[in-house]
Structure 1
Amino acid sequence: MWRSVLAVCLLVLAGALTVSGTAASVPSSPAGYAAQPTDAPAPGNETLQPGSTVGPGPDINAPQEPAPANPETRKKLWLGGIALLLFGLVYWRNKKRWTKWRAGRKS
């Protein structure tokens, strides 16, 4: 009995983490990124020529903005959790019925 309850809890947790992970990975702006040419040395040439420069890297200390919680995502999470809970309860009930029916049939 406890194994099935534990399995249902793990499925709910995995579903919640997967859905929220995909919702957070949606880009907020539709603008694409274009590569900027730099005067970096070729892969085989390790020394820089006088006057050549390498462009600055990304800012490591850039402020991180948390993704806003979308109400539609929260609604979907609730509906998915309720659906998994109902599925687990029906599965558990049918498992008990099947066990009782099989035990009655043996005797």
Structure 2
Amino acid sequence: MWRSVLAVCLFVLAGVFTVPGTGAAVTTSPHLAAVQPTETLAPGGTIQPEGTVPPGPDINAPQEQPAPSSSADTRRKLWIGGIAVLLFALVYWRNKKRWSKWKAGRKSG
């Protein structure tokens, strides 16, 4: 009986801390990676279309805040993980008491 409870606790812990899949990888702006042919340059040569330099990344870009649903999902996972750890500790403590009692009975008799 206690082995099945322990297995369930470990299964719940494994489910809580695994990656939820591609649902967390959704972005608001699509980034497409296209393969482009490369050009070989002469030493010291540069390629700039029409004399312009492409802009770099914005250093002061606003940071995206996590969606409220992901915060609620994280909170739910933490509750499930806490319950699983508590159940694991209770089963461990119960079995430790049983083992102590069994070992004492075996030594005396």
Give the TM-score taking structure 1 as reference length: 0.56
Distance 1:85 1:103 in 2: 27
Work out which of the residue numbers 100, 103, 106 in structure 2 matches 1:106.
Answer: 103
Aligned twin of 1:76:
73
Shift of 1:91: 0.6
Q: What amino acid does structure 1 have at the position aligned with 2:40?
A: A
- Count of paired positions: 83
Q: What amino acid does structure 2 have at the position aligned with 1:86?
A: I
Distance 2:72 2:58 in 1: 34
Give the TM-score taking structure 2 as reference length: 0.55
Q: What amino acid does structure 1 have at the position aligned with 2:99?
A: R
Aligned twin of 1:32:
32
Aligned twin of 1:67:
64
Aligned twin of 1:87:
84
The 1:64–1:35 alpha-carbon spacing in structure 2 relative to 1, beyond 3 Å, is farther
Shift of 1:59: 1.6
In structure 1, list runs of 5 or more residues that go unmatched.
1-10
Distance 1:61 1:29 in 2: 15
Aligned twin of 1:46:
43
The 1:61–1:54 alpha-carbon spacing in structure 2 relative to 1, beyond 3 Å, is same
Larger relative contact order (Cα-Cα within 8 Å, sequence gap ≥ 6): 2
Shift of 1:74: 0.7
In structure 2, list runs of 5 or more residues that go unmatched.
1-12, 105-109
Shift of 1:58: 4.5
Distance 1:67 1:85 in 2: 29
